[in-house]
Structure 1
Amino acid sequence: MKKVIIDVDTGVDDALAILYAVQSEQLDILGITAVSGNVPLEQVTINTNRMLNLIGINDKITVYKGASRPLLREPFHEFRVHGEDGIGGALDHIDMEIPENEVFAADFIIEQAKKHKGELTLIMVGPLTNLALAIRKEPRLAEWVKDVVIMGGIVESAGRGNTLPTSEFNIFADPESAKIVFHSGLEMTLVSLDVTRKVMLMEEHINELEGTKYFDFVKNSTGIYRNFSAGLYGINGCALHDPLAVGVALDKSFVKTEKYYVDVETKSDLSYGQTIVDFRGLLKKEPNVNICTDVDHERFLKMFLDCLKK
């Protein structure tokens, strides 16, 4: 099985991504690293451990705390979409003691990359702070890590961002870290809003899960998210941003990709956090990021639902 570390800022779609990764039974999850993002780090850690408890594997996978804030900017959270606790109160019924772990997330990434040279895939579905810190501490990560799949950015649909008109949340929350990661030499695929918004979990899809173990969680956790989406976009659905990143790590044929030079805007108030892709090669820079240009959304959604039905 493919060895992976999943880096999360556990809101609704992160929780669904964890569920999908586990239920796929195709990934050797070495650990889960937590980062400040959708909600503060402490809540991310609580949500992630509760999610593992719901699945029944909290004794098998360890959660490692990482950065509690971005490299330079003040912490930025997204309570409007994910609710005050990040998952719409869907796991409030789980009363558990949250395990303490003294290993810092960036150190865990370095340790596992060194131990499993050429084998490790990083699935990054939150701000990229933990990975940027790991790169700063150990530049040889680019030689050790096999692949990085990043949920973040918006490239071909500029003006349709979800934080600023040109910016996606994960990159906007810590663009300086994203800049470090994009220029690190790591082999990476950017799963952007351009494709994740084509994979919508609608109410009829959720109803397909009725009678299964995760029906109540999926329905309850996505409630606030779906209401927000209905109010802003007129669509009562939950975009499967983070689960699609897991899907790409499992099977890259879900998406079509092309490699271009990508950079991140870190100075402009108007476009802070924008992922800028040089489609025409005007900057004369070596391509550094595989961007997703299309997705087989029907096949992915079927695979996702089939996994949860298990």
Structure 2
Amino acid sequence: MSKSILIDCDAGIDDAQALFLALCSPEVNVIAITVVQGNVLPKQVSVNVLRILRVADRLDIPIYVGSDKSLLDIDRPHDDNPYHGRDGLGDTPDPEPVDESLIKAETASNAIVRLCREHKGSLTLVCLGPLTNVATAIRQDPSLGKNLQHCVIMGGNYYGKTTQ
């Protein structure tokens, strides 16, 4: 029996690897992917996820776009030499454009709330990027966690810094 998961990510190189592992696992059923600003802006994250899904032949998985800024509305400047490249995937050229019409109109936070309700008690939320979409979903539905079977969070940052 496969485990249903919802992945929230910012689709840099590390998230691409995690997505491929999940998409190739017979033990996991990825029901949706939500995207958030992190390595790059959400529009580019969406393109990155579409590229990954195209390679994995899984364009059937819906993508929902989330927040393009932090909850504190802090401008986070992107480095001149970003860790994952300017496109988040190491600036690897892609000669074939992705079909951006596959991106759903529903916001990521709304999709998280809805999917957690629809899959009450059987869904695992896997958080690979900044938790802005999840925080926004919890603001919309403070009981969100009660609908989840599990929540898995990858945390940290490559600078090893905290903000105060």
Query: TM-score, normalized by length of structure 1?
Result: 0.49
Correspondence 1:104 to 2:107: yes
Could you say what secondary structure the match of 1:36 adopts? coil
| Counterpart amino acid of residue 66 in structure 1 | G
Could you say what secondary structure the match of 1:4 adopts? strand
Correspondence 1:82 to 2:91: no
Q: CA deviation at 1:151?
A: 0.6
| Counterpart amino acid of residue 122 in structure 1 | L
Q: CA deviation at 1:136?
A: 0.5
| Gap runs ≥5 in structure 2 | none
The equivalent residue for 1:132 is 135
CA distance in 1, matches of 2:152, 2:29: 16
CA distance in 2, matches of 1:77, 1:150: 23
Indicate if the aligned counterparts of 2:8 and 2:35 stay in contact, CA closer than 8 A: yes
Q: CA deviation at 1:51?
A: 0.9
Q: Which moved more, 1:89-98 or 1:17-26?
A: 89-98
CA distance in 2, matches of 1:91, 1:19: 19
Question: Structure 1 residues 13 and 91 mapped into 2: Cα distance closer, same or farther (>3 Å)?
Answer: farther
Indicate if the aligned counterparts of 1:34 and 1:41 stay in contact, CA closer than 8 A: yes
1:73-105 CA distances to partner (integer Å, 9 max, x unpaired)?
Answer: 113546521111111133513322212421111
Q: CA deviation at 1:117?
A: 1.1
Indicate if the aligned counterparts of 1:50 and 1:94 stay in contact, CA closer than 8 A: no
Question: Structure 1 residues 76 and 28 mapped into 2: Cα distance closer, same or farther (>3 Å)?
Answer: farther
CA distance in 2, matches of 1:127, 1:45: 15
Question: Structure 1 residues 91 and 115 mapped into 2: Cα distance closer, same or farther (>3 Å)?
Answer: farther
Could you say what secondary structure the match of 1:19 adopts? helix
Question: Which one has the bigger helix percentage?
Answer: 1
| Counterpart amino acid of residue 121 in structure 1 | T
Point out the structure with max Rg over C-alpha: 1
The equivalent residue for 1:162 is 158
Indicate if the aligned counterparts of 1:37 and 1:77 stay in contact, CA closer than 8 A: no
Q: CA deviation at 1:130?
A: 0.2
The equivalent residue for 1:95 is 97
Q: CA deviation at 1:36?
A: 0.4
Structure 1 runs, 4 residues or longer, greater than 6 Å off: none
CA distance in 1, matches of 2:131, 2:24: 25
CA distance in 1, matches of 2:54, 2:44: 15
The aligned runs of 1:258-277 (5 Å cut-off) are 271-272=162-163
CA distance in 1, matches of 2:64, 2:5: 14
Q: CA deviation at 1:18?
A: 0.7
Q: CA deviation at 1:25?
A: 1.9
| Counterpart amino acid of residue 2 in structure 1 | K
Length, aligned pairs only: 160
Could you say what secondary structure the match of 1:146 adopts? strand
Question: Structure 1 residues 129 and 76 mapped into 2: Cα distance closer, same or farther (>3 Å)?
Answer: farther
CA distance in 1, matches of 2:26, 2:76: 34
Query: TM-score, normalized by length of structure 2?
Result: 0.90
| Gap runs ≥5 in structure 1 | 154-160, 168-270, 274-310
Could you say what secondary structure the match of 1:82 adopts? coil
